[in-house]
Structure 1
């Protein structure tokens, strides 16, 4: 009887083999993968359109269905750049908060490894904890806080999948320095092409929380005190599994809202005495995050994010 980790490897290998039956031979071994976060599905248009295959997640054994608005739930295979480098995009992701366990939520990353992916670019929409960040800024991640993992919801929990990686993989090198250097160089090129562009590229730390509720004011202050610059509900499980599998990682957060850090007003505060109920609700709700805002900011920033990723891809695989 197969052990659990062996079963994971066998299942991922079987899924990869099935996907290849749907693909032309030129796309059998993608070297790059891009995970498209909320509102960032437009990254699929970085793919050369003449050789492109779309496969819905529902047609892939073992892939969970995405239930979140802004996540299409499909694989897009194609090529990028003048060198026609094969690539796969995960347009939409499965989240832990949707009810999937960590193994299911990161299964696509395991399949990417079997397919031959060497570099994974992960994107997400996030709340800005660092108050110097503006909505629409792009954050190049250089570290993370795995808040869910710290309390036991870790994607590598259980028997180690030896066919993929070691029992205790280091995470101090999770965010590839060479790729980050390339990202900064690529951003300079993007800015040179768009003079007057107000969007900024920062480096920062991402805090992963399980969700699906947005964080409280006290939680935001705690995360900021711990060193986090942005906060979200994805990415870190995928990155952890990618590094366990030997895949190099580059990750970006798009700041879609500024997290509220100041303490809420007290009920005995003089300024709220005499306010009507609707006025109190409006007063307390200032700065409150919502998913529609996340999607709208993603649409607004899509062109710059696409331009940055496209330039990075062109630099990584020049003909």
Structure 2
């Protein structure tokens, strides 16, 4: 069945779309996707990693988010082995960092234009693609994580120039931004931005204005840390009393409440929760079928944003 003849409610495999249909880079995708970062936990069991990606496709996921620096290429290679052409899965990757397996952290920044181009080439090779449908430029303007120093402090215009050139060359299909400020996003809009990935959850909503702007501009909002962060000092949705109460009332988990709230909160939200566990994967997909009534939504909407910004120097 061709994509034009297929119901928007189903993926190419015939599975109901996880979380229903959404839009990413001009394509209809399932609103619940899969974030591949945690595949690295299965590094010693490649077959299990491949099977998990296959299971995601079977569950109605057709949007997978990855990066070459996830497990130093392991996640990309597992995705390449797992996916089949007729799955019609949109694979989204990320540049702005590179693997550093022997360093204090498993990645280091790679913000310079020539590094961005090299990262795209590395992703193309490990994914086995001629073109990556969407590539997110991971900056360091905001959110938890590394901050740029020295020659890694690069202006957005220089970065967008190389990203636009890669798009013109057909090596990437669309450009996204990650860990960006509202000011940088506004400046970048003329380049054509398809997606923004910032840290955002029920308990961390500092970027509400940016989410609103993305909705107005037809840009997908794809939050990382959608359940908060495991970093010490960062808030977690699963600790939030309102999420715990809603989960008890609906006989589900607080994590499912956190994911469902995001889907209810704005129509341009797409989710990429990550896991290395098949049961957790199924639970994430099931969150897309939850219905939150007006009273529950009002209670969750009233949750205060908690402070927390972890940086690594």
TM-score, normalised via structure 1 length: 0.29
Q: Which has the higher strand share?
A: 1
Superposition TM-score, scaled by structure 2 size: 0.29
* Structure with the larger RCO, 1 or 2 (CA within 8 Å, 6+ apart): 1
- Rg (Cα) greater in structure: 1
